[in-house]
Amino acid sequence: MAIADLAPAEETLGLVSAAGSEGFAARCDVSSGESVAQFARWVEEHFGRCDVLVANAGIYPVMSFDDTTWEGWRRVMSVNLDSLFHLTKAFLPGMREAGWGRIIATASNGFYSGLPDLTPYVASKGGVIGFVRSLAIEVGVAGVTVNAVAPSLVRTRGTTEGPHESLGMFEKVRERQAIRRTQLPADVAGLVSFLASDEAGFITGQTIPVDGGSVRV
């Protein structure tokens, strides 16, 4: 497993090692095509090619549209949507050559209902869904599938350190769910693992909510 992040990833690498797998982490700004290209070269040196790409970078500043600047809008788009372009550009050629590949993006169930004070975030996730739908048609003949998972509000280090707790967002989200508990990363991991497997080889172009039954599509 290769991990691209701006922050150190020792904790994740420890989990990978404990599971009996090999991994490495590199500092990478996924909003930068140049940075992603360098990361792709490191992946090639370590593993030869990338079979499964999980594009999971995301930021979600909570603010009204009136308070959103053009710079803030572009920052969200660059991390949440442009990164998917850069990563796919870097790793899709190797998948085509191998005749097998999985591209898995992270969308949001907020796309289906909209979310107040998160307009740039929801718009970026709508772009992710459109990207997945269209690219899947182009690359299916090469043995590559393209799908997205659409979680709800997941309790992570980022969401707990942000304003979500103080604004009562976890409670509001739970009230809309059929399963009345806060979503955890493990709730998403199973679906990602399935989409990366041979068993999901006939699923492509889809965005699958995994949100405790909050949306029903």
Q: In terms of domains, do 83 and 114 share one? A: yes
Q: In terms of domains, do 56 and 147 share one? A: yes
What pLDDT is attached to residue 151?
94
d(CA 65, CA 73): 10
pTM, full prediction: 0.93
Q: Per the domain annotation, does 167 fall within a domain?
A: yes
Q: In terms of domains, do 35 and 94 share one? A: no
Per-residue pLDDT for 2 more than 80? Answer: yes
pLDDT tens sequence across 36-72: 999 999 999 999 999 999 999 999 999 999 999 999 9
**Residues spanned by the domain of 9:** 1-48
Q: In terms of domains, do 110 and 34 share one? A: no
Q: In terms of domains, do 78 and 176 share one? A: yes
Q: Per the domain annotation, does 104 fall within a domain?
A: yes
11: which 2 tokens?
């904790």
Q: Per the domain annotation, does 216 fall within a domain?
A: no
112 is catalytic: no
Q: Per the domain annotation, does 217 fall within a domain?
A: no
Q: Which of 85, 91, 121, 170 is catalytic?
A: 121
Q: In terms of domains, do 34 and 87 share one? A: no
Query: Hey, which residues does 146 pair with through a beta bridge?
Result: 103
Q: From the CB of residue 107, how many other CB atoms can be counted at a distance below 10 Å?
A: 27
What pLDDT is attached to residue 9?
84
Q: In terms of domains, do 108 and 44 share one? A: no
pLDDT tens sequence across 76-110: 999 999 999 999 999 999 999 999 999 999 999 99
**Closest alpha carbon to 85 in 102, 103, 62, 65:** 103
Q: In terms of domains, do 31 and 98 share one? A: no
